[in-house]
Chains A and B, each alone.
Chain A
Amino acid sequence: MTTSQHTVNHRPPTDQEVLREITGMLAAVLDEYGLADTEVTMATRFTEDLELESIDLVTLSGRLQERWGDHINFAEFIAGMELDEIIGLTVGRLVDYVVNQLQNAARG
């Protein structure tokens, strides 16, 4: 399920569309615990609010790449961050990164 077509030939997705997709991925990553009643917003923090373990972030990174291909490189995205920063990471910051990457890809 590659999506280079989606990203290159069509308009890149909006913040809200990416947020919705990432929320779906989070529900899958957390299937053992579920998202319960937690509403995922741009301000939601992965570890503090959703209780993701660092290994869950690795799984999420795999899903991001499956969905949007090599445009999205989570390892690279977090490479410059310190661990505290990674732990405090918000969903919004990831959404922004994804939207930016896909816009750049669409511009070719």
Chain B
Amino acid sequence: MAFLDLGGLRRHVQRLAPQDGGPPAATVVLVHGLLTDSLASYYFTLGPALATAGLDVLMYDQRGHGRTARPATGYRLEHFVDDLAALLDGLDLTGPVHLVGNSFGGTVAFGLAARRPARVASILAIESEPASRSWAAKLDGILRHAEHELVRETTLAWVAEQRGAHTARLARSAGRLLAQTSLAREIPASRLPGGAELRSISCPVLAVYGTDSDLAHQAAWLDGLLPDCRTTFVPGQEHSVLVEAPYTVRKLTLSWLHECGVRLREPAHAPLPTGRELEDSAR
């Protein structure tokens, strides 16, 4: 499967069935972040490992991103949450699903859980937070800056030098997304869930942060806010935990799903080589 037309939007979807051909132990939906992100971040990290563990794995490009259509407007958080809900409905995934959200993808996951609690079995939020007034203000600053910088050749050359050609190419794509759409102005204007709405997120939540990330201080706030939430830290990591420490994220995700009662299938549930993970997460 590659493309699905739902709600007037052509979406790029990749779904991996359990690798052993057996019935899925559960469905997990992987939600990517803003701008430079796409379903590729999961396709090349977490997705295949989850399919090996016997899960039905659903990955999709959010509106404007990857190979999903890019309307000029319609980029408030609620549009992204609508998209996720429409995708689950469109694929007849009526039972609760496990959500993994990276950065803004986690914000979308929290948005769905606040709106339709019965659809969400658990949330694993990587470097993420629910939408709030301070979230909107921060995103406003980041997006204004990105909109200005990511179309400048000097900035892109600097990115290429510091972070390599691939990151520079992603940055250039992000610049195009911001230039072609009203995303930068709409995200900060999103409807924000109230405190009561957030406290109603009753599914188990695991929030993962890099110890060196700007978001790490969110952990205590989130722990206190949500009824069933715990946080964990990946040492030596900043915001890009998912792509920089894929082994650690894989291990965390599998043990999290196991903890949530998903019966993972061998051999993926067997312990991964911890030496490599530690080395990887410390890089």
B residues less than 8 Å from A47 (CB atoms)? 165-166, 169
Say yes or no: is B44 at the interface (Cβ < 8 Å to chain A): yes
Say yes or no: is B243 at the interface (Cβ < 8 Å to chain A): yes
Cα distance A58–B41 in the bound complex, in angstroms: 10
B residues less than 8 Å from A53 (CB atoms)? 38, 40, 166, 169-170, 173
> How many chain A residues touch B (Cβ–Cβ < 8 Å)?
19
Q: A79, B48: Cβ atoms under 8 Å?
A: yes
* B1-31 contacts to A (CB < 8 Å): 2, 14, 16, 19
Please count the residue pairs between chain A and chain B whose beta carbons lie under 8 angstroms apart in the complex.
60
Bitwise interface map of B from 232 to 247 toward A, beta carbon under 8 Å scored 1, else 0:
0000000000011010
Q: A55, B52: Cβ atoms under 8 Å?
A: no
Q: A78, B44: Cβ atoms under 8 Å?
A: yes
B residues less than 8 Å from A51 (CB atoms)? 165, 169
Cα distance A79–B44 in the bound complex, in angstroms: 7
Say yes or no: is B66 at the interface (Cβ < 8 Å to chain A): yes
Q: B47, A54: Cβ atoms under 8 Å?
A: no
Say yes or no: is A13 at the interface (Cβ < 8 Å to chain B): no
Q: A83, B47: Cβ atoms under 8 Å?
A: no
Question: What's the nearest-Cβ distance from chain A to residue B41, in Å?
Answer: 7
B residues less than 8 Å from A86 (CB atoms)? 44
Residue of B nearest to A45 (CB): B165
Q: 7 additional contacts, CB 8 Å, given A47-B165, A54-B41, A86-B44?
A: A48-B166, A51-B169, A55-B67, A58-B38, A59-B67, A75-B51, A83-B45
Q: Which 10 A-B pairs have the closest CB atoms?
A: A54-B40, A79-B48, A55-B38, A55-B40, A55-B66, A47-B166, A75-B48, A58-B40, A62-B2, A58-B43
